[in-house]
Amino acid sequence: MLEVLKLPIILTVQVDLVLIILTGLGIWSRLCGLSYPKAVVFDEVFYGQFVSLYMKQIFFIDDSGPPLGHMILALGAYFGGFDGNFVWNRIGAEYTGNVPVWHLRLLPALAGAFCIPLAYQIVIELQYSHLYALIAGLLIMFENSLITQSRFMLLESVLACFALLTVLSYLKFYNTQRHSPFSVSWWSWLFLTGVACTLTVGVKYMGLFTYLLLLTIAGVHTWQLIGDTVLSNVDSDFFQVTVICHVLARVFALLILPAVLYLGIFYIHLTLLYRSGPHDQIMSSTFQASLEGGLARVTQGQPLEIAYGSQITLRNLWSKPVPCWLHSHKSNYPVRYEDGRGSSHQQQVTCYPFKDVNNWWIIKDPAKQELVVSNPPRPVRHGDIVQLVHGMTARYLNTHDVAAPMSPQSQEVSCYVDYNISMPAQNLWRVEIVNRESQSEGWKTILSEVKFVHVNTSAVLKLSSTALPDWGFRQLEIVGDKTSKVYHQNMVWNVEEHRYGKSEEQKERELELQTPSQMDFSKNISFMAKFLELQMKMLMLKNEETEHKYSSSPLEWINMDTNIAYWLHPSSNAQIHLIGNAVTWSSATIGIVAYAILYLWYLLRRRRRIYSISEDSWERLVLAGAVCIGGWIVNYLPFFLMEKTLFLYHYVPALTFKIILLPIVLQHIHDEVLWSSVLRNTFNALMVAWLSSVYMVYRTFSPLTYGVRPLLASELNALRWKDNWDILIRKR
């Protein structure tokens, strides 16, 4: 009998205890007392509204960025059993019993906590020591502003976490490539990089700049790979195949995968929010009709084909920020305008931003007198000539060679009034379907995008978007444009509401009238059409720029010359502020300056072929600068170009990268610049003193970070380190 040889199974597990301890302390620092205060804190009043709409599955649109951040907050609310019933109307409002405060704040807090181990690992992957990686983690941990921002239902900590995850994943992939390309680990880190890129962009549009930075770094590394002398020494065909595989893998993981996942975020968003809500009117009629309730209740069962005798409302496709409909009323244009020009004194035609009975028009066949639909209905097709009769005043839509009131370069549009003078009616319009698929296509409700071209003058019915004076009730001007040859959406209309006009005899014999074709408009818009429209609206929609007590400029962020009061206890001086650790902020700024000086010094010396440091040290320093300085720049400089109200918290992602650079610079100075043991020992002593001061400042400002205890007026005054910090003191 053969003896079975039993080989021992050896399992080796490497555990980074420092990483585990850092992560645990980070979670404790962010989650401790997370439900306090049980009141709305600063921008929770803004994000909470979207969370409630998610819970009720009501559609909304937010111009601040893609919906992933809101979905993450809503996920916490879902796990907490939140029903969405809370009025987010003011900062400081006490949360009711149905609001799961801890769950609402949990995911941002975890994201803020995970920034600590991510920073630690980034420094290690940049090939610097565990000691200085630990310093990076501690600096993030004891940064008061990062703690404050992560402990509430806000998104900057989530954005910073995903940005760091993007960088770490790519560095892991890049380092794995050196010894085991195309391995399981290599593919895993590459795909995780693509996923992290999507998450970063999906939270806020600002994440796009981090994504572009990573693509730039990856592009440079790919270019270097093509010129790799080790690879080029192998067989030529094998080299070409290898390089192509490397490029294709990066294209798929860093371009195609993020694009697909980004679409997936919006697919989930639009699937969840299927009900009509307060933001519907910003969207097109087709989009609105796809939502349950709202316009869908009106359009459901409407006749699909526009026919002679149809009664319709016409919505302009371009009107923003709110929609408007072609409108007329009994008032006429004034005989003379303020500038002395004369008008036709005919009935006003405007674009009105509210649904109104005066928005209804009748499609008339110029060859017939009937204003009702025949049996069977005669559909209107592309290229047909029609007349538009105003439903309430029975006057015909008209334009002529009279200057428009606010746009004298264009023609006036009016409803024709017969004054028995030599001004013949010019009320024939040619229907041109812009999105037609054939030359004989019929005009359809909601679906067709239509231009109206005046037959006599070739002018196009157009919204000028200029508001009329008081005599026009501040409604928007409609003109006839015969000069512009460029297609624009302000010339395009669609039928939103539609019904067939019937005679009294037809009403009595309604059952004998042919049933018109109908369509379920809620199922007639594709996901891609909804996605593209939503993207355009998000990019075009802008909140009004308003001054805020705590708004600030990007220049004030560098040295923390401003702060934000997030919450004040209703009866005591307990309060929470967004104030950073002054030692860390100033040190990080010095770190950027020191890096710039070192980099330029080495660059100049290398130009003269003087190599002060090894090639490995130089490459590490360059990559660290690309990641950290680059991360700081792309998350900071774009704010100088933004026309929006800015706050100190917008600096949080940039600050995170800025802090990570600091221990890298310190280690480089210790290892490469200081040449004697005496200098290094002195440097180490200064490092200990400096880290102690970081911790002491963190402890000093902790009452304003956590807000758990009331402070005396003298204590608050002592914490006002800068004159322009707004520390609140309640007078008793």
- Asked if the model's pLDDT at residue 488 lies above 90, the reply is no
Residue 144's region, left for phi above 0, alpha for psi from -120 to 50, else beta, is alpha
Q: Residue 300: pLDDT band by 50, 70, 90 thresholds?
A: confident
- Give the 3-state secondary structure of residue 211: helix
Task: Tell me the pLDDT tens digit for each residue of 412-469.
Answer: 999 988 776 555 567 899 999 998 888 889 999 888 999 999 998 999 999 998 999 9
- Tokens read off for 333: 């244009």
Taking CA atoms, 532 is separated from 265, 339, 492, 649, in Å, by: 13, 43, 18, 30
The mean of the pLDDT values for the chain is 89
**Nearest alpha-carbon partner for 327 in 289, 287, 354:** 354
CA–CA distance, 644 with 543 (Å, rounded to integer)? 8
Which stretches does DSSP call E strand in 346-491? 347-352, 360-364, 385-390, 397-403, 411-415, 429-433, 450-454, 460-467, 476-481
Residue 303 β-bridge partners = 518
The reported pLDDT for the residue numbered 227 is 73
What's the pLDDT tens digit per position in 141-183?
999 999 999 999 999 999 999 999 999 999 999 999 877 888 9
- Return the exposure string of 135-145: e unless at least 16 CB atoms fall within 10 Å of the residue's CB, then b: bbbbbbbbbbb
Domains annotated for the chain, with CATH where assigned, are 17-269+550-719 (no CATH), 310-500 (2.80.10.50)
User: pLDDT tens across 50-83, in order?
Assistant: 999 999 999 988 877 899 999 999 999 999 999 9
Q: 429 - beta bridge partners?
A: 386, 454
| Closest C-alpha to 320, from 495, 544, 490 | 490
CB distance 66 to 197 below 8 Å: no
User: Do 455 and 385 contact (CB within 8 A), yes or no?
Assistant: yes
Residues 535-572 pLDDT 10s: 888 877 765 556 778 889 999 999 999 999 999 998 88
Q: Are 660 and 628 in contact (CB under 8 A)?
A: yes
Report the candidate in 175, 174, 167 with the shortest Cα–Cα distance to residue 193.
Answer: 167
pLDDT confidence of 511, banded at 50, 70, 90? very low
pLDDT band at 708 (very low <50, low <70, confident <90, very high): confident
pLDDT at residue 1 above 50? no
Higher pLDDT, 472 or 4: 472
* Amino acid 699: pLDDT: 95
Of the candidates 178, 166, 261, 259, the one whose C-alpha atom is nearest the C-alpha of residue 217 is 166
Quote the CA–CA distance of 176 and 183 in Å, as a whole number: 9
pLDDT of residue 521 exceeding 60: no
Residue 414, strand partner residues? 348, 398
Unique residue bearing structure tokens 């001086």? 573
When pLDDT is averaged across residues 186-211 and rounded to a whole number, the result is: 96
Question: What are 557's two structure tokens?
Answer: 């962020």
Grouping H, G, I as helix, E, B as strand and the rest as coil, residue 542 is coil
- % of the chain residues with pLDDT over 70: 92
Q: How many CA atoms lie within 13 A of 318 on its CB side?
A: 15
Contact 559, 582 (CB under 8 A): no
CA angle, corner 448, sides to 442 and 453, nearest 5? 85
> DSSP string of 484-508?
--S--GGG-EEEEEEEE---HHHHH
Query: How much of the chain exceeds pLDDT 90, in percent?
Result: 63
- Which of 401, 461, 464 is CA-nearest to residue 429? 461
Stretch (H or E) spanning 414: strand 411-415
Helical (H) or strand (E) element with 311: strand 310-316
User: Which segment of 181-185, 486-490, 504-508 scores lowest on mean pLDDT?
Assistant: 504-508
**Cα–Cα distance between 161 and 199 in angstroms, integer?**
10
More confident residue, 32 or 486: 32
Q: How many CB atoms lie under 10 A from the CB of residue 196?
A: 25
CA distance 37 to 47: 17
Please tell me the distance from the alpha carbon of residue 103 to that of residue 76, in angstroms, as a whole number.
5
Q: Which amino acid, residue 680? A: R
Element (H, E) at 360: strand 360-364
The one-character DSSP state at 396 is B
pLDDT value at residue 594:
96
28-42, 68-82, 210-224, 541-555 — which is least confidently predicted? 541-555
pLDDT tens-digit map of 352-386: 998 899 999 999 999 888 889 988 899 999 999 99
* Residue whose pair of structure tokens reads 């059993």 in the numeric block: 81
Model pTM score: 0.86
Alpha helices in 514-569 (DSSP H): 527-540
- Nearest Cα residue to 215 out of 246, 179, 250: 250
H/E run at residue 398 = strand 397-403
